[in-house]
């Protein structure tokens, strides 16, 4: 039986060392890599094979950049992300699940990690059902202001069609389609179709590097 492969992302080297030793004692687990930053985690996601990512929620003091690291990591590799933190604020937990995490463990409860890791790997994990519904609701929250025609347009853009292809498929003049696209982008508060698709897929979360500088009109909550 193959062990569950684990990637740890944590800014504290001592914690990495302790967690690696702790988890490697489990017969069915193996820590295959560790990252100390958001950038390194995403880079390793492209080169390492792993089943579970343990992600510290605060990779930089005073920031919750682990949330954005989880989101970016999942865009590279489909893994189960478990957030590790000392924070228990409801808004932070909600953002973590929006980013794609499947569990949330307070660091003082680290002894429960082996059981939690096994739980997220099981195909019958009931948490998966709740998270799928949560993701559906976050998606609906993003699209609720769009008209039926705009939703159809967004669906085609999300499926990878170009505006020219959409025009032919829907029998719409270029000027009409362009007008609909602009209205849709304005409602979603983005500048391009690509940004619109990415934002909705991310549940409305916008990585800090992409946030607008116009007084924070576009929020990531």
Q: For 83-104, what is the mean pLDDT? A: 84
| β-strand partners of 196 | none
Q: Note the pLDDT tens digit of each residue in 178-200.
A: 888 888 889 888 888 888 888 88
Judged by DSSP in three states, 4 sits in strand
Please give the C-alpha separations between residue 176 and each of 144, 181, 208, 220, in angstroms, as whole numbers: 22, 9, 34, 31
pLDDT band at 206 (very low <50, low <70, confident <90, very high): low
Check residue 123 and give its pLDDT: 61
Q: Identify the DSSP state of 218.
A: S
Is pLDDT of 124 > 70? Answer: no
Contact assessment for residue 204 and residue 97, using Cβ atoms and an 8 Å cutoff: no
CA distance 28 to 17: 19
pLDDT band at 208 (very low <50, low <70, confident <90, very high): low
For the full predicted model, state whether its pTM sits above 0.75.
no
Largest CA distance in the chain: 64
- Express as a percent the part of the chain with pLDDT over 70: 89
Is pLDDT of 57 > 70? Answer: yes
Check residue 127 and give its pLDDT: 64
Please give the C-alpha separations between residue 91 and each of 2, 3, 95, 203, 221, in angstroms, as whole numbers: 37, 34, 6, 14, 8
Judged by DSSP in three states, 89 sits in coil
pLDDT band at 212 (very low <50, low <70, confident <90, very high): very low
CA distance 7 to 42: 11
Is pLDDT of 64 > 50? Answer: yes
Q: Note the pLDDT tens digit of each residue in 5-44.
A: 999 999 999 999 999 999 999 999 999 999 999 999 999 9
Q: Average the pLDDT over each of 33-37, 66-70, 76-80, 147-151 and give the range with the smallest value.
A: 147-151
Check residue 193 and give its pLDDT: 86
Q: For 136-156, what is the mean pLDDT? A: 83
Is pLDDT of 98 > 80? Answer: yes
């Amino acid at each position: 039986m193959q062990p569950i492969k684990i990637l740890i992302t944590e800014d504290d080297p001592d914690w990495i060392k302790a967690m690696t030793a702790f988890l490697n004692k489990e017969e069915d687990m193996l820590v295959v890599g560790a990252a100390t930053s958001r950038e390194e985690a995403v880079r390793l996601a492209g080169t390492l094979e792993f089943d579970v990512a343990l992600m510290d929620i605060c990779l930089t003091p005073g920031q919750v950049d682990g949330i954005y690291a989880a989101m970016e990591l999942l865009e590279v590799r489909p893994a189960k992300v478990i957030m590790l933190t000392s924070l228990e604020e409801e808004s932070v937990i909600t953002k973590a699940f929006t980013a794609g995490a499947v569990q949330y463990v307070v660091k003082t409860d680290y002894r429960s990690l082996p059981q939690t890791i096994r739980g997220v790997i099981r195909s019958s994990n009931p948490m998966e059902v709740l998270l799928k519904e949560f993701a559906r609701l976050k998606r609906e929250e993003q699209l609720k202001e769009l008209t039926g025609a705009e939703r159809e347009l967004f669906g085609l853009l999300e499926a990878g069609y170009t505006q020219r292809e959409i025009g032919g498929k829907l029998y719409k003049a270029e000027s009409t389609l362009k007008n609909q696209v602009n209205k849709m982008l304005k409602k979603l508060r983005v500048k391009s179709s690509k940004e619109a698709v990415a934002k909705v897929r991310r549940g409305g979360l916008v990585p800090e590097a992409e946030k607008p500088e116009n007084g924070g009109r576009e929020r990531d909550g």
